Structure 1
């Protein structure tokens, strides 16, 4: 079982470079997550049920980025987090890493499930989810804290370079990466189903907010499907819009998949070969894990019309002056 701690084989210069890179990427992720949170606070149209779940993801992304930022900063300006004097700090840092890395998975899964239930017109299930928003919020926290606590008690966390985590690649692969890919393929299936559902309706829509369901007529004698009624009532039959939104829908799982492909490949390589990946590859591996907050800000910001709202707000402020 190989230790993936690159500091065991890296030079002081490489260790310094690794931590500097992680600090930069952590700041990008923190700023991206903070933008999503600020958007939720600034615009009432971004406070729907679905956006409340996106807010939960952003808070998780922010906490994870700050955790990486702190551990990398300690490495740069003090003794290594793997030193005997920082055992307790390393354990806490590893616990926080495990909690928030796992938690982002369950936020993304929750968002995908609720989006599917709402747009596929599973009224009973979607109504239950919206009536129990606290449950939807608490579940990712409970699951991730339980997993993080079990990891701390049963295995423990050690220095893997820029932060602390499970030292064993095989353990990380088993506990984190295999469940993560199950989640990825689940959300891919859900969004693919919605893709074909909306494509079949021959219309388009620009957001996935649950308020759109209020436009559905209550006439049960209608021969059209709920999806047909929903999108036709709002956007007509614009094929160009349809194609654009259909593509946007698939961006969510594809970006998440791309983000975790390199880290998963490195875990498999190191756990099966018994060798540590080259320094540059290892740095890219860790950067992919840390970049989630920034990636989520880009994906959700573009698909939820967040950038348009900010541009309008800036333009209005400029006109007032």
Structure 2
């Protein structure tokens, strides 16, 4: 049967020394991942400028990453202490650990997909959809939690969880391929398609902008989110602050509004802000593809051959899964406004000098996307 309950745990090392080494590595990687996810959470709490609608979704992803890292760290710590989680006294802990692993591994996939869909609605100017998602944030938050808990409960009831070396999960590689890895790659393909569409949209708008001899072209009408949408729309992905070459009525009347970004319509050189925005969007799915390639390859190898992967490769396989929180911090944190606000907090003079030179404004526009 394809969904075999507690199949042979090929991912679990057989030697005691290998178990100890593996769990030390996972504990270290888990700490790094927790620090990365925690940095996003702390940034959201401390700074109002990173509390936009999109950052609220990123906060949900960071919380899931942090709790997932803590779950991995707890099982590794138990193994390192000498109480191996595959032993009978730790059976209840293993069930709980496996349940939480399934919850948060699946949940992070849902958060990434949700962020991509909402970003697409807003930047691609789907006015009705973008307004709806921003007005129903509680529903958006319930979706990843509800579906992930449902699938984890079904997994515990129908299949069960067992020790795979550093934490508990589905012990069968075939089960993990069907339940986790195939859906994950479908999500990666979906977000790749969404961000590729936005990438082409931005480049098309950029090329059209340079093809006109007047500054008031159709780019703003093509990409600018609906003005009557919720206030956070203007803070997340309002490309008008990037594409506009003339001041708007709102920017003239509001003392706190960002000054318009000046672009030369006759200049054929690529705009660095647009290029950076487009490349950043394509980075999201590419990084996830890199992270999950090795674990997927190991699952396929072990499912087909029935043999465990070499210990070194298996350790890298598990580390790629655990590093998710740190990877998300790099993708969504260091490329977002939190870098700028932390720099302003600890280096106010240097940040002021950058702002006077215009660099801070460019970063602000980019981070608000």
Whole-angstrom CA distance in 1 between matches of 2:281 and 2:342 = 22
Q: CA deviation at 1:119?
A: 0.3
Whole-angstrom CA distance in 1 between matches of 2:243 and 2:47 = 26
Asked if residue 240 in structure 1 is aligned to residue 244 in structure 2, the reply is: no
Which runs of structure 2 are paired with 1:116-135 in the superposition (5 Å)? 116-135=120-139
**Residues 312 and 193 (structure 1 numbering): CA distance in 2 closer, same or farther, change over 3 Å?**
same
1:3 to 4, 8, 31: 8
Question: 1:147: which partner in 2?
Answer: 151
Whole-angstrom CA distance in 1 between matches of 2:288 and 2:124 = 22
Normalising by the residue count of structure 2, what TM-score does the alignment of the two structures yield?
0.78
Question: 1:213: which partner in 2?
Answer: none
Whole-angstrom CA distance in 2 between matches of 1:129 and 1:6 = 40
Between 1:224-233 and 1:303-312, the stretch displaced more is: 224-233
Asked if residue 255 in structure 1 is aligned to residue 287 in structure 2, the reply is: yes
Which runs of structure 2 are paired with 1:277-292 in the superposition (5 Å)? 277-292=309-324
Which runs of structure 2 are paired with 1:69-108 in the superposition (5 Å)? 69-108=73-112
**Residues 5 and 80 (structure 1 numbering): CA distance in 2 closer, same or farther, change over 3 Å?**
farther
Which runs of structure 2 are paired with 1:178-197 in the superposition (5 Å)? 178-197=182-201
Question: 2:43: which partner in 1?
Answer: 39
Question: 1:307: which partner in 2?
Answer: 339
1:227 to 219, 223, 226: 223
More helix by share: 1
Question: 2:329: which partner in 1?
Answer: 297
Asked if the contact 1:159–1:167 (Cα under 8 Å) also holds between the matched residues in 2, the reply is: yes
Residue-pair matches, total? 301
2:334 match: secondary structure = helix
**Residues 318 and 304 (structure 1 numbering): CA distance in 2 closer, same or farther, change over 3 Å?**
closer
Question: 1:55: which partner in 2?
Answer: 59
Question: 2:141: which partner in 1?
Answer: 137
Question: 2:356: which partner in 1?
Answer: none
Asked if the contact 2:10–2:307 (Cα under 8 Å) also holds between the matched residues in 1, the reply is: no
**Residues 316 and 156 (structure 1 numbering): CA distance in 2 closer, same or farther, change over 3 Å?**
same
Q: CA deviation at 1:6?
A: 4.2
Asked if residue 275 in structure 1 is aligned to residue 307 in structure 2, the reply is: yes
Asked if the contact 2:13–2:311 (Cα under 8 Å) also holds between the matched residues in 1, the reply is: no
Whole-angstrom CA distance in 2 between matches of 1:191 and 1:182 = 14
Asked if the contact 2:13–2:19 (Cα under 8 Å) also holds between the matched residues in 1, the reply is: no
Question: 1:20: which partner in 2?
Answer: 24
Q: CA deviation at 1:144?
A: 0.1
Asked if residue 112 in structure 1 is aligned to residue 116 in structure 2, the reply is: yes
**Residues 172 and 99 (structure 1 numbering): CA distance in 2 closer, same or farther, change over 3 Å?**
same
**Residues 235 and 254 (structure 1 numbering): CA distance in 2 closer, same or farther, change over 3 Å?**
farther
Gaps of 5+ in 1: 204-220
Normalising by the residue count of structure 1, what TM-score does the alignment of the two structures yield?
0.89
Gaps of 5+ in 2: 208-215, 225-238, 245-259, 264-269, 352-369
1:220-256 deviations in Å (ceiling 9; x for gaps): x974433277232254546222222211111111111
Asked if the contact 1:63–1:100 (Cα under 8 Å) also holds between the matched residues in 2, the reply is: yes
Asked if the contact 1:251–1:299 (Cα under 8 Å) also holds between the matched residues in 2, the reply is: yes
The alignment's C-alpha RMSD in Å is: 2.0
**Residues 266 and 6 (structure 1 numbering): CA distance in 2 closer, same or farther, change over 3 Å?**
closer
1:176 to 180, 186, 204: 180
Asked if the contact 1:198–1:246 (Cα under 8 Å) also holds between the matched residues in 2, the reply is: yes
